[in-house]
Structure 1
Amino acid sequence: MGRVAYARIAPNEDLVQGVEKLCLAEGFRHAFVRGGLGSLIDASLGLRDGGYQQVAGPAVEVVSIAGEVRSGPDGAPVAALAGIVADTQGNVYGGPFLAGWNPVCVTFEVTLEEWLPDTETAA
Structure 2
Amino acid sequence: MGRVAYARIAPNEDLVQGVEKLCLAEGFRNAFVRGALGSLVDACLATRDGGFVAVKGPAVEIVSLAGEVREKPDGSVRAVLSGVVAGTDGAIHGGPFVAGANPICMTFEVTLEEWLPEERMANSEWG
State the TM-score, normalizing by the size of structure 1: 0.96
Q: Indicate the RMSD between aligned Cα atoms, in angstroms.
A: 1.2
Deviations 1:40-98 (A, max 9, x none): 00000000001101000000000000000000121111000000000111110000000
How many residue pairs get aligned? The number is 122
For 1:49, the equivalent position in structure 2 comes to 49
For 1:70, the equivalent position in structure 2 comes to 70
Which letter maps to 2:111? T
Deviations 1:7-49 (A, max 9, x none): 0000000000000000000000000001100000000000000
For 1:107, the equivalent position in structure 2 comes to 107
For 1:19, the equivalent position in structure 2 comes to 19
Deviation at 1:120, TM superposition (A): 4.0
Tell me, in whole angstroms, the C-alpha distance in 2 between the residues paired with 1:19 and 1:100: 12
Tell me, in whole angstroms, the C-alpha distance in 1 between the residues paired with 2:35 and 2:95: 15
Find the structure with the greater CA-based Rg: 2
State the TM-score, normalizing by the size of structure 2: 0.93
Matches within 5 A, 1:21-36: 21-36=21-36
Structure 2 residues without counterparts, runs of 5 or longer = none
Structure 1 residues without counterparts, runs of 5 or longer = none
Tell me, in whole angstroms, the C-alpha distance in 1 between the residues paired with 2:18 and 2:26: 12
